[in-house]
Structure 1
Amino acid sequence: MIEEPDEFQKEMALRNHDRLDALGSKITTAVIESGIVTVRTLVLVNGGAVIAMLAFLANVVPKGDPNDFDGVLGSLSLFAFGVFAATMTAAFTYLTNLFNEIFLAKIQRTWVYPFQEKTKGSKRWGAVATVFQFVAIASGIASMVFFLWGVWSLKAAMLGVM
């Protein structure tokens, strides 16, 4: 038979539960805000490169042979892949936040120290959230790689044209 906790232990447990809930809320807010800034930056950098290249091509291609600009068009594709990867980063960041919320909701609150206990469900959702977090990071890195690859490709193409 489980012993009924005394008032002091109940008060300590309730404080711990409140701290856990507040921490979850603060972490979720911070992750969402930083994710939004990161994704906006990735989309802005890659999207800006696409717009700049399209403006460049609109001014240069009519003056020269369009076949000379195949390399430039290839780098345009790399920037577009960078935008796609940034969009996927946003999707995976959202899913990470969703799964972290489920993870926190599945943690069992108890009256006995440490006043919380991970359940099978919380462990499972925590693992899923971690996997999606790494996928989000990987897609963000992929977006930066596509941008740098696009810049390098554009430089090589422009040196070949000039």
Structure 2
Amino acid sequence: MDFLFENLPSISQSTPKKGHQDSQMPEDMGIDSSRGESSNMSMTESKEQDSSSNIDDISRRAQEMVENINHSRTSDQKVMDSFEENLLDKVREMCQQMKGHMYTVYEEDSDAMQVKLQELSEVLESCTKLNRELLEATQALACLREGLAITQTEP
């Protein structure tokens, strides 16, 4: 993750250049030593306060970044939950459509099978009728043969 520190105030302190030190020295020499010490003390305190405020600022920004990340994660989770729910709805819808199509195909197949079963039933009925007629013809031929056999043996 990239952290953007370009907007943060700099916490480094610049040191005066040599030319500037020489020009400030005569003025500092004119100030009594107790005032110089208090001046040094207030500069040190000022530097500490600046460092402390910079650290606090960095800490606050880091906390804001963590909160933003957590907010993004929560938002991402909501998006994923919504996506999952929508996907499940679409899957259910597609399953219902497939079931409907499947039942339509079953019905069409059932109608076609009913026609074929009707045709098969008619063919079987016809076969049964022909079988009976064939048995009757066989019996008639058997009787005829018996009658012919009797007449041939009588002479």
| Fold shared, TM-score > 0.5 on shorter chain | no
Query: Which of the five TM-score ranges fits, normalised by the shorter chain?
Result: 0.3 to 0.5
Structure with more contact order per residue of length (Cα contacts < 8 Å, sep ≥ 6): 1
For the pair shown, which has the larger CA radius of gyration, 1 or 2? Answer: 2
TM-score by length of 1: 0.31
TM-score by length of 2: 0.32
